[in-house]
Chains A and B, each alone.
Chain A
Amino acid sequence: MANEFNNLMEISASGLTAQTRRMRAIAENMANANTTPASPTEKPYQRQIVTFKSVIDKVDGSNKVAVNGVVKDKTSFGKKFDPGNPAADKLGYVQTPNVNTLVEMMDMRESQRSYDANLTVIDASRTMLMRTMDLLK
C-alpha cells in the first residue's frame, strides 16, 4: 500500500517537473520579448512553446506526464520602424520577436494553476499516507 502512495506522488511530481519546464520557457519568452537581432540578416528571438505528452511508466503502468519537446512558434515576426538601429533594413524597419507578453502572462497563469493542482494532490496523498501510518500507533 505504501508503495502505491509513493507511485502516486511520483505521478504528481512528474506534473510538477513538466510545468516547471513550461514556466522556464515562458520566462525565457518574457525576458526576450524585446530582443532584436544584431544585424539585418539575422532573425530576432523566436517564441518557444513547450508541448506535453502522456507517458506510461513501464514499472507501475501509470500515466505520467513528460515534456514532448520545445518547439519554436512559427508566427511571423513583428516590424518596428527604427532607422537608427544597426539591425534596420534598407527601409528602416527592424524585425521584432513574435512574443506577445499578454499571451505569455495567460500561459503563465495556466501553468501556475496546474502546478498548484498537482501540489494539492500531493498534499492529499500525504494526508492519506499519514492516516495509514496512524493506524500503527
Chain B
Amino acid sequence: MDSGRTDLITAIGDKMEWLAERQRILAQNVANADTANFKPKDLAPYDFKNTLAQAMVAPAVTNPHHILAGHHAKPGAQVTKAKTYETLPSGNAVNLETEMMKVSQTGMDYAQMSSLLKKWQNMVRIAIGK
C-alpha cells in the first residue's frame, strides 16, 4: 500500500473527527436551548481541499516565481460563533430548528465518510484475498 492512499484515509479520519467535534458543539447548543444569555456556537467549515492537498504529493518550488498550490496548514477545528437571526428577550439565541438541521447534516456526512472507509476496507480485503 503506497502512502498516498493511506494519507487519503487519514483525511477521511480527520473529517470524521471534525464531524464528531461538530456534533459535540451542536449538542451543547441544544442542551443550552433554554439557558439565558447563551449564544450558539459552531465549528469553522472543514476544508477538504486543503486536507487533500496535504495528502497528495505537493509540487516542489524550484523557482521563486512558482506559486505553491494549497497551503499546508493543518485543518483546525476552530470554534466560531454561529450565525443567528433571532435572540429571545432572555438573551438566548439558539434556534432549535437550525440546530436540528445541522445535527442531521452532520450525521449524514458522518455516514458518508464511514461508508467510504468501509469501501476502502472491503477493497483491501479483496486485495489480500479474504
Chain B residues lying within 8 Å of A12, measured Cβ to Cβ, are: 27, 30-31
Question: What number of B residues sit within 8 Å (CB to CB) of A?
Answer: 31
Contact of A65 among B32, B103, B106 (CB under 8 A): B32
Q: Once A and B bind, how many residue pairs between them come within 8 Å at the CB atom?
A: 102
Question: What number of A residues sit within 8 Å (CB to CB) of B?
Answer: 37
Chain A residues lying within 8 Å of B123, measured Cβ to Cβ, are: none
Q: Are B34 and A120 in contact (CB under 8 A)?
A: no
Closest-by-CB residue of A relative to B114 is A131
Closest-by-CB residue of A relative to B112 is A131
Q: Are B23 and A124 in contact (CB under 8 A)?
A: yes
Could you tell me the dominant secondary structure of chain B's interface residues? helix
Min CB distance A38 to B, Å, is 35
**Interface flag for B100 (CB, 8 Å):** yes
Q: Are B104 and A124 in contact (CB under 8 A)?
A: yes
Q: Are A135 and B20 in contact (CB under 8 A)?
A: no
Chain B residues lying within 8 Å of A19, measured Cβ to Cβ, are: 34
Contact of B121 among A18, A64, A117, A135 (CB under 8 A): A135
